[in-house]
Amino acid sequence: MPKRLCADKGGISPFIASVIIVAILILIGIAIAYWLSGAAGSYAKEELKIVSVYAESADDGWRIIIQVKNTGSAEAAISDILLNQKSCADYAGEPWRLSLESNGAPVADLRKINIVLKAGEEKNLVITTRDVEPFTYGVILKVQLRSASGQEPPPKEVTLK
């Protein structure tokens, strides 16, 4: 009678085969969960955009109007406005007396700005300041926003004139 090629080998036990299959299924489950969480996170983004910035002369200073839009698919919160890379809160006291309004509503504490924009929402921010250095005629201001998550959209420049 002819011998079988692998007649003397027993193979792997059913228990070891079951452990290997379970381990593979767990790894596949983890990979799918990781992929889905990454895919879901990439669709819900905050994305602030400065649509326009312009300045106009006011009584004894300037009004700087910033039109901002959340072009992302998630809610975004503005936590600071930078003027020439300096927080607007630094200009709150004398001699500048800088103030901020969001769609007509005053922002009470410039150190705790929290202007929320829903997905697709657009708001006008109005900064009012006195005509004191660095807010004098002919000065170019670089206006930049900072979101609560730390995102900073590209800045825009405005000339005071």
- pLDDT at res. 39: 62
Quick one: pLDDT band at residue 59, thresholds 50, 70, 90?
Answer: confident
Q: Tell me what the mean pLDDT of segment 69-79 comes to.
A: 92
Nearest-5° angle of CA 69, CA 111, CA 67? 20
Task: Evaluate if residue 58 carries a pLDDT over 90.
Answer: no
Confidence grade of residue 10 (pLDDT, cut at 50, 70, 90): low
Sheet of 61-70, strand order: 48-57, 61-70, 122-130, 99-102, 105-106
> Phi and psi of 54, rounded to 5°?
-145, 160
Residue entry with tokens 């009678």: 1
Identify which of 8-12, 104-108, 117-121 has the greatest average pLDDT.
117-121
